Amino acid sequence: MTRSSFVLKVKAGIPAPACRVLGWGGRLPLRIVSMFVVNRWPEFSRLFLVSDSPSWVISWEMGEVSEIAQCIGVKVGDIRWLRMVKSQSVFYGSQFILLDDHWRQKSWRVGLAYFHGRPGTGVPEFDQVYQRLCQVHDSIQRIQVSHSEMRDVVMDSGILTEKVFLIPIGINLSYFPMQTGELRRRAREQYHIPQSAVVVGSFQKDGVGWGEGLEPKLIKGPDIFLKTVELLRARVPELYVLLSGPARGYVKAGLERMGVPYCHIFLKDYRKIGTLYQALDLYVVSSRQEGGPKAVLEAMASAVPLVTTRVGQAMDLVRHGQNGWMVDVDDAEALAHWAEYAIHHRESLEGVLQEGRKIAEENSYSAQIPLWTRFMRGFVEW
């Protein structure tokens, strides 16, 4: 047995001697071996975390939840074993699992995250998934919501209050040092951004699908972002836009039409995104609906001025003029106004930035351990 296969088996909960006794290595089918192991687990003693995508925000969120769970003593199962387990606890990172009935045919305890998707806002899939929640909430043991607006929406489905837990989409502070002049200089040098530029950041997925993203995902407000940039261009010399995230074609095409210089850096390793914040003068959230966005806490943690629409957990975390600036949805003029204010008053924003960092610290994953402990209690047995 190779060292890597030994490590894999130990992580899956199979000690090396058992692997040898069971004839691992091809002598017995994996399915038979795995069933032998999982059938010995006590009921609901393992937590399985299921993401909606192998390489985007929810997958990283599930990784952090896994770390928290193990920190408090919960055993996390290898997702590759999920289809073979019975009577265990399964947490889905997206509410859209409600549109698939396979989980109701299992003997699992089921939890899910319901971050965004207000019904009645013109997005058919939001209506569909909410209608499904109203129909099947008795089969769900836990729901995580990230902000108070979505908590109220979920509660209106008729679900029991004790099943719903408000836990914001958190942040790993180790990825986001507070910006300094030297870190800013190095980041701009690394990404070939002019040192004299006024750099506005936008790090998200705001195109439909996973291709170029030329069709805008309007709930993310890419059209409002472009209007904001157009207004700022006339007021702020040397304006420059730094983009990250997949499917940004719509925004890139709009910037090119306006003649606003930009660069698009898609970091596949989320842990490196903190370096992008170091290059910024300002971060803008222009969304119409959100579960987070994580960028609210990321910008705050990085001591980067934040201007955001009144969406998602920004509504709970941002205090206008105290730790950032918040405006009504669709109000590009207000976004531009406060963006310009933050840019021109950067030298006097120390208090605002310190308050933002404090909010980020209070919502770090380590600070959320008590919240997740309450969530797991009665959902997983440990």
Residues 84 and 64 in one domain: yes
What is the per-residue pLDDT for 7? 35
What is the per-residue pLDDT for 57? 80
Q: Does the structure show a pLDDT above 70 at 205?
A: yes
Residues 145 and 194 in one domain: no
Q: How far apart are CA 212 and CA 209, in angstroms?
A: 8
Residues 64 and 194 in one domain: no
Residue 371 maps to a domain = yes
What is the per-residue pLDDT for 84? 87
Residues 55 and 145 in one domain: yes
Q: Does the structure show a pLDDT above 90 at 22?
A: no
Residue 352 maps to a domain = yes
Residue 315, token pair as written in the block: 């509504």
Residue 382 maps to a domain = no
Residue 25 maps to a domain = no
What is the per-residue pLDDT for 4? 38
Q: How far apart are CA 322 and CA 125, in angstroms?
A: 36
Q: Does the structure show a pLDDT above 60 at 9?
A: no
Q: Does the structure show a pLDDT above 90 at 11?
A: no
246 Cβ contact partners less than 8 Å away, ≥ 6 residues apart: 56, 205, 207, 210, 213, 266
Q: What is the DSSP string of 267-288?
A: -SSGGGTHHHHTT-SEEEE--S
Mean pLDDT of 227-240: 97
Q: Does the structure show a pLDDT above 80 at 269?
A: yes
- Do 316 and 292 meet the contact criterion of CB atoms below 8 Å apart? no
Residues 223 and 120 in one domain: no
Residues 162 and 215 in one domain: no
Give the range of the structural domain holding residue 264, as residue numbers without chain letter: 173-362
Diameter of the chain by CA atoms? Answer: 73
What is the per-residue pLDDT for 152? 98
Residues 221 and 165 in one domain: no
259 Cβ contact partners less than 8 Å away, ≥ 6 residues apart: none
Q: Does the structure show a pLDDT above 80 at 18?
A: no
What is the per-residue pLDDT for 328? 98
What is the per-residue pLDDT for 19? 40
Residue 258 maps to a domain = yes
Order the strands of the 46-50 sheet from edge to edge: 75-76, 46-50, 89-92, 109-113, 142-145, 164-166
What is the per-residue pLDDT for 28? 56
Look at strands 198-203 and 282-285 and give their pairing: parallel
What is the per-residue pLDDT for 122? 93
184 Cβ contact partners less than 8 Å away, ≥ 6 residues apart: 278, 279
Mean pLDDT of 114-138: 96
Mean pLDDT of 239-258: 97
3-state secondary structure of 240: strand
Residues 225 and 285 in one domain: yes
Mean pLDDT of 115-137: 96
Q: pLDDT averaged over the chain?
A: 91
Residues 343 and 370 in one domain: no
Model confidence pLDDT, tens digit, residues 292-340: 999 999 999 999 999 999 999 999 999 999 999 999 999 999 999 999 9
Residues 129 and 219 in one domain: no
Q: Tell me the C-alpha to C-alpha distance, in Å, between residue 205 and each of 74, 191, 269.
A: 32, 20, 15
Residue 340 maps to a domain = yes
Residue 22 maps to a domain = no
Please, which pLDDT band fits residue 38 given cuts at 50, 70 and 90? confident
Mean pLDDT of 182-195: 98
Look at strands 75-76 and 89-92 and give their pairing: unpaired
Q: How far apart are CA 157 and CA 303, in angstroms?
A: 38
Residue 193, token pair as written in the block: 């951004």
How many domains does the chain divide into?
Answer: 2
Model confidence pLDDT, tens digit, residues 62-117: 999 999 999 999 999 999 889 889 999 999 999 999 999 999 999 999 999 999 99
Residues 149 and 177 in one domain: no
For residue 151, how far is the Cα from the chain centroid? Answer: 17
Residue 34 maps to a domain = no
CATH code, domain carrying 56: 3.40.50.2000
What is the per-residue pLDDT for 244? 97
Percent with pLDDT over 90 in the chain: 84
Residues 53 and 163 in one domain: yes
Percent with pLDDT over 70 in the chain: 90
What is the per-residue pLDDT for 12? 42
Of 338, 314, 321, which is closest to residue 228 (Cα–Cα)? 338
Residue 77, token pair as written in the block: 């199962």
What is the per-residue pLDDT for 272? 93
